[in-house]
Amino acid sequence: MRILIVESSMLLLLTMVTTGCVGSSSVTKQPQALPVSTEQPTKEAVLSSTPTPTGKTTENSTPEATTATNPTRCETSQLSVRRVSQDAGVGNVALTYAFTNNGSSPCTLKGYPGLALLDAKDQPLQGIKVIRSKDTYFSSKQPRQEVTLAPGKQASFQIAYNHVTSPQEHCQISSKIEITPPNTYQHFTLTEEIKPCTGKVRVTPVRAVDTQP
């Protein structure tokens, strides 16, 4: 009788172990599902997710073209110069010269022309002082101003001096003069007799005129 009970207990134990092993192999652990949100994204969230422009241009971008509208400075090569008038009185002489724009586009002049008096050998006269002056005996003060010359237009200036002589003086006389437009380096050479007995020659700044060549 005791033998039957032991066998029954072992059979029951073997059955329970077998059942547990089979059950454990058939169980599959399911991943936990995340909750689904039904709320709409806020305005702040949308803005934060929007890329911010960096300000850099792409390779295909084209810069906006700019056009220079200011006339350039007149160069000697696009100008000509000639004497247009002469005044004399009380021992004073004033020669008026004019630059003409011979180019195809406007240009500007501002300030005083350069002047040199030359002898017959193209050498500067000794002891002659060229003075920049806003006025002369024949003209009122002319302040420096920028003159825009359209093609064919002119800007004038004066050369003034005193030619009164005395028995004790020997006045030098030029054979030629060199005139350099303001703010340039190349000059014009003209045949001109100027006799500044005081040793001084005044030059005025350029100003616009209506005189045509």
In a domain, 39, yes or no: no
What is the C-alpha to C-alpha distance for residues 203 and 194, in angstroms, rounded to an integer? 13
In a domain, 46, yes or no: no
In a domain, 149, yes or no: yes
Average pLDDT rounded to a whole number, residues 21-28: 40
Q: Is the confidence at residue 142, as pLDDT, over 70?
A: yes
**Residue scoring higher pLDDT (5 or 105):** 105
> Which pLDDT tens digit goes with each residue over 96-106?
999 999 999 99
| DSSP run (H or E) holding 189 | strand 188-191
What is the C-alpha to C-alpha distance for residues 180 and 116, in angstroms, rounded to an integer? 9
Query: How many distinct structural domains can be found in the chain?
Result: 1
In a domain, 38, yes or no: no
Q: Is the confidence at residue 155, as pLDDT, over 90?
A: yes
In a domain, 124, yes or no: yes
In a domain, 78, yes or no: yes
Place of tokens 């995340």: 34
In a domain, 106, yes or no: yes
Whether the predicted model's global pTM rises above the 0.85 cut: no
The parent domain of residue 135 ranges over 72-209
CATH number assigned to the domain comprising residue 94: 2.60.40
> Which pLDDT tens digit goes with each residue over 32-49?
444 444 445 444 444 444
138 falls in which pLDDT band (50, 70, 90)? Answer: confident
The reported pLDDT for the residue numbered 11 is 47
In a domain, 162, yes or no: yes
Residue 185 φ then ψ, to 5° = -115, -30
